[in-house]
Amino acid sequence: MDYFLGLLINGIVVGSIYSMIALGFVLIYKATEVVNFAQGELLMIGAYICLEVIVTTGMPFLAGFFTTLVFMTLLALAIEKLVLRRMMGAPVMSVVMATIGIGIVLRSVVLLVWGATNRPFPTVFPREGLDLGVVTVSQVYLYAFFLCLTFMVIFGAFFQYTRWGLTMRAVSSSRKAAESLGVPLVRVFALAWVISAIVSGVGGILAANISGLTPDLSAYGVRVFPAVILGGLDSIIGATISGVIIGVLENLSGGYLRNLTGLSGLGPVAPFFVLILILWVRPTGLFGRKEIDKL
């Protein structure tokens, strides 16, 4: 039972990080109709920047954290302005290719600057276990979970209650109608990239805190993909819930299949099997929008 609860809680925590990254995917997709394949690299570079700031300048973690957010903002604006804006009107597939290219560039930069070796993240959150009664959980997990939760609530409120949040939803609902009302689409696209980069950066920092930092951290981009598809590429709530589902699935199947088969590393594979099963039944994902076809 403890084993199960441990895996479950692990899964929920990792899943909440997945949710954040999935949110990044969904945001860009909803606003610009482009699937950003550089999402994993964005979170990886966020983690490296944070680590670098803390280690080289000796700044406290919080300063490193906020510096990273500023960096992610600038990076997103640069990508949007230098690459994507020039591709406005190009076929979606070309833009998707461009994001793959951006991913490769970011990965190479990280390899050039920091190398491929594993770099431990300095202890930011205490790792001692916290006794929750039934099960003991490392505090870093709890911090990560609540940080994700906070960010999700902030962005949820942003979309529901602010003028720009409403504008972003409007653009994703009908780009043409938004344009006809004087909405500057380019600025909305840039905003989507910025928010997406910020949540990725936070996700990257948390993931690195838990599992250490190598360029392989960018694999999170791929591991989150089942969550994105499961949630339906265009649903923010779907991405959030699916992130947690995938995290739990991954941990439970990883934990139990290892005992069963003696093979480790089956965890990340399991979600893809479930993904295929679900898409079989519901091609638009669990929460995806079936177009409202009513005239």
Q: Taking the complex as a whole, how short is the minimal distance between the CB of residue 267 and another protein, in angstroms?
A: 35
Q: Taking the complex as a whole, how short is the minimal distance between the CB of residue 176 and another protein, in angstroms?
A: 5
Cα gap 246→272, rounded to integer Å: 9
Residue 284, token pair as written in the block:
């638009």
Binding of residue 174 to another protein (CB under 8 A):
yes
* Choice from 56, 117, 180, 261 touching another protein (CB under 8 A): 180
* Choice from 177, 269, 276, 277 touching another protein (CB under 8 A): 177
Q: Taking the complex as a whole, how short is the minimal distance between the CB of residue 177 and another protein, in angstroms?
A: 4
Cα gap 241→244, rounded to integer Å: 5
* Choice from 78, 173, 264, 273 touching another protein (CB under 8 A): 173
Q: 249, 286, 285: which is closest to 269 by C-alpha? A: 249
Binding of residue 170 to another protein (CB under 8 A):
yes
Binding of residue 179 to another protein (CB under 8 A):
yes
Of 225 and 287, which CB lies nearer to another protein in the complex structure?
Answer: 287
- Give the DSSP letter string of 31-86: HHS---TTHHHHHHHHHHHHHHHHHHH---HHHHHHHHHHHHHHHHHHHIIIIIGG
- Cα dihedral 250/256/262/265 (nearest 10): 10
- Residue span binding another protein (CB under 8 A) among the ranges 63-71, 95-103, 162-170, 246-254: 162-170
Binding of residue 86 to another protein (CB under 8 A):
no
Of 172 and 251, which CB lies nearer to another protein in the complex structure?
Answer: 172
β-sheet bridge partners, residue 129: 138
Question: What is the size of the binding site for another protein (CB under 8 A)?
Answer: 22
- Residue span binding another protein (CB under 8 A) among the ranges 130-138, 140-148, 161-169, 252-260: 161-169
What does residue 213 show for φ and ψ, rounded to 5 degrees? -125, 115
CB-based contacts of 193, cutoff 8 Å, min separation 6:
28, 76, 77, 79, 80, 84
Binding of residue 60 to another protein (CB under 8 A):
no
Q: Taking the complex as a whole, how short is the minimal distance between the CB of residue 292 and another protein, in angstroms?
A: 3
Binding of residue 290 to another protein (CB under 8 A):
no
Helix (H) or strand (E) holding 131: strand 129-131
Binding of residue 295 to another protein (CB under 8 A):
yes
* Choice from 60, 101, 122, 184 touching another protein (CB under 8 A): 184
What does residue 197 show for φ and ψ, rounded to 5 degrees? -65, -35
Q: Taking the complex as a whole, how short is the minimal distance between the CB of residue 285 and another protein, in angstroms?
A: 16
Could you tell me if 246 and 230 are in contact, meaning their C-beta atoms sit under 8 angstroms apart?
yes
Could you tell me if 114 and 206 are in contact, meaning their C-beta atoms sit under 8 angstroms apart?
no
Binding of residue 112 to another protein (CB under 8 A):
no
Cα gap 109→103, rounded to integer Å: 10
* Choice from 119, 169, 258, 282 touching another protein (CB under 8 A): 169
User: Given the rule CB under 8 A, which residues bind another protein?
Assistant: 89, 163, 166-167, 169-170, 172-174, 176-184, 289, 292, 294-295
